[in-house]
Amino acid sequence: MQKFIIEGGKRLSGELKLQGSKNSSLPIMAAAMLAQGESVLKNCPKLTDVYSASRILNVLGCKCSVSDTVVINSEGISGTEIPESLMREMRSSIMFMGAMLGRLGECTVSIPGGCELGPRPIDMHINALKKLGAEVSDEGGRINCRLRGGRAKGTRITLPFPSVGATENIILCAVTAEGETIINNAAREPEICDLCGFLRSCGAEIHGDGCGSIIIQGREKLHGCEYTVMPDRIAGATYLSMTAAAGGEIILKNTCTAEMEPFLSVLEQTGCGIYAAPDTIYLRSGRRLKAVRDRIRTMPHPGFPTDAQAVLMAALVTADGTSVFEENIFDCRYRHTAALVKMGADIEILGKVAVVRGVKTLHGAEAEATDLRGGAAMAAAALSAEGVSVISNISHIDRGYEKFEEAVRTLGGNIQRV
Ligand code: EPU
């Protein structure tokens, strides 16, 4: 098991080009299966989750290669079943359910893996696919879905909560359905718009993405295209929080600044100097950060993103004053706090609230990454701490950050993978 050894207490400084978005790339890779012929994806990050998606495509008979670009040719698609071992590698394996139904009319999957953030059911996905005409049966954990008549029928679906994954699965199934589908209370995350942007480039007709209601006119066939995946707003939030925590300055290039606004508007309250252009963000962190006065409530987009909660907390543990987080998306997304406390942070968890009383400094410690963003938060805290930290279980971090240690080193951070 690999580890990061991090020697902290040094200011960071440098320029970074932000990676492409993980949470866009994965549903877009699943969507490429809907397009006849070849799709070429630019700006896909090289991550273990992207390789897992590639393996799934290849198992299903598509040809997928990952190098500077991701090239997917769906001509040979034949399989309708994803082995349980591949389903377990990541949460986004569930995106293939809607895509397989959209292309082949049937599929067999199982409960997906991914970070353990509390219960992550797929009831909204299943109920929506049933509304689109799928017959679903569960045989010992294997979920078989088959569309009546081989093709989905457009319908109106109102989600009880704007689930990102359920919205994506509905879109993937509905773009080739017969007739019109309307998704009410749809997720508005930028990655949903990116998926729709890709599908539109393939010939799909989708309106309203980024708003509460998405309207899809089903098309019989889609074609391949070339598409550039959006930048990763959460990796961006991570490198900005890391620099804010350690002190120093960063020029972040290739950003999606408008989509990062819900995060930036909170980070700004810590007193960092932030200058933002549409595709570049400059941050300078000089003095001790200020605590954030308003409660930081994670909410569906355009609220504060749950994925940035842990990394921002890593910066606020040494701020002057008390900051309060409220995690409203996942039941169990404070698992990183034990490691931060081990480094000297003062954090009290009261149900879905975390009270962070800023301390003057952190000290190095041994910690185990608990999940993707939690692991990144531990690394950010370790870079601001005095002394050496050892972070194990870093396969979590590798699932979401491309060449993490190279990025940290570009900023002058002292990090080694052993
Ligand atoms: N939920 C249900 N039933 C469902 C679906 C969701 O109860 O059928 C609940 C979940 O348990 C959770 C809430 O609804 O409490 C939100 O889940 P959502 O479906 O919106 O999230 P997701 O699709 O599982 C994606 C991202 C997450 C990100 C969330 C929220 C991907 C691969 N994952 O997850 O990203 O936190 O949206 O924005 O896109 C990460 O990148 O580290 C990560 C966890």
pLDDT tens for 327-382 read 999 999 999 999 999 999 999 999 999 999 999 999 999 999 999 999 999 999 99
Q: How many CA atoms lie within 13 A of 107 on its CB side?
A: 29
For the domain spanning 3-18+231-417, the CATH number is 3.65.10.10
Residues in contact with ligand 1 by the CB-under-6-Å rule are: 23, 26, 91-92, 115, 119-125, 161, 163-166, 187, 189, 234, 306-307, 329-330, 372-373, 400
CA of residue 319 relative to chain centroid, distance: 27
Choose which residue among 89, 163, 168 to substitute to test ligand 1 binding: the one with the highest number of ligand atoms within 8 A of its C-beta: 163
Whole-model pTM above 0.75?
Answer: yes
Predicted confidence band of residue 119 (pLDDT cuts 50, 70, 90): confident
Percent of the chain with pLDDT over 90: 94
Annotated catalytic residue, options 115, 145, 173, 256? 115
User: CATH fold of 22-228, please?
Assistant: UDP-n-acetylglucosamine1-carboxyvinyl-transferase; Chain (3.65.10)
pLDDT, tens digit (0-9, with 9 covering 90-100), for 258-285: 999 999 999 999 999 999 999 999 999 9
Q: What is the pLDDT of residue 187?
A: 98
φ, ψ of residue 65 in degrees (nearest 5): -125, 140
Q: Give how far Cα 244 sits from Cα of 102, 136, 414, Å.
A: 44, 48, 16
pLDDT, tens digit (0-9, with 9 covering 90-100), for 141-178: 899 999 999 999 999 999 999 999 999 999 999 999 99
Ligand 1, atom 33, lies closest to the CA of: 23
Q: What are the sequence ranges of the domains in the chain?
A: 3-18+231-417, 22-228
Percent of the chain with pLDDT over 70: 100
Position 188 pLDDT exceeds 80: yes
pLDDT, tens digit (0-9, with 9 covering 90-100), for 28-76: 999 999 999 999 999 999 999 999 999 999 999 999 999 999 999 999 9
- For residue 330, the CA-to-ligand 1 centroid distance in Å is 8
- For residue 397, the CA-to-ligand 1 centroid distance in Å is 18
Q: What is the pLDDT of residue 206?
A: 98
Q: What is the 3-state secondary structure (H, E, C) of the chain?
A: CCEEEEECCCCEEEEEECCECHHHHHHHHHHHHHEECEEEEECCCCCHHHHHHHHHHHHCCCEEEECCCEEEECCCCCCCECCHHHHCCCHHHHHHHHHHHHHHCEEEEECCCCCCCCCCCCHHHHHHHHHCCEEEEEECCEEEEEEHHHCCECCEEECCCCCHHHHHHHHHHHCCCECEEEEECCCCCHHHHHHHHHHHHCCCEEECECECCEEEECCCCEECCEEECCECHHHHHHHHHHHHHHCEEEEEECCCCHHHHHHHHHHHHHCCEEEEECCEEEEEECCCCECCCCCEEECCCCCECHHHHHHHHHHHCCCECEEEEECCCCCCCCCCHHHHHHCCCEEEEECCEEEEECCCCCECCEEECCCHHHHHHHHHHHHHCECEEEEECCHHHHCCCCCHHHHHHHCCCEEEEC
Rounded CA-CA distance 97/131 in Å is 14
Told to judge if 272 belongs to the known catalytic residues of this protein, a careful annotator would answer no
Closest ligand 1 atom to residue 331 Cα is: 15
